[in-house]
Amino acid sequence: MAPLGALSQAWTSVEASLPHGWQVAGLYRFQDVWIALSEGPEFDDYLSGSGHFAEQALRNLGHRLRERRGPVTG
């Protein structure tokens, strides 16, 4: 299991990666696989990330969210 600080940091990174109107829906465990889920403003907008550790699932979700969001310019 990852230290609590690493899990907190991964969750914060996912929140920072969210496209406009998206939210983190949850972090779920199914047997030995963790699933991190995010939902967008439209009914069929959702992304997930998975891994054997909660931190890994969150990091994978963050990567997919950043791809979906695209580049951020100031």
Based on DSSP, count helices (H) and strands (E) in the chain, helices before strands.
Answer: 2, 3
What confidence score (pLDDT) does residue 71 get? 77
Task: Supply the CATH classification number for the domain 4-69.
Answer: 3.30.160
Domain extents in the chain: 4-69
Q: What is the pLDDT of residues 21-64, one digit of tens each?
A: 999 999 999 999 999 999 999 999 999 999 999 999 999 999 99
Contact predicate 52/34, CB 8 Å: yes
> Which of helix, strand or coil describes residue 48?
strand
Using alpha carbons, select from 46, 23, 18, 49 the residue that is nearest to residue 34.
Answer: 49
CA atoms lying within 13 Å on the CB side of residue 14: 29
**Whole-model pTM?**
0.87
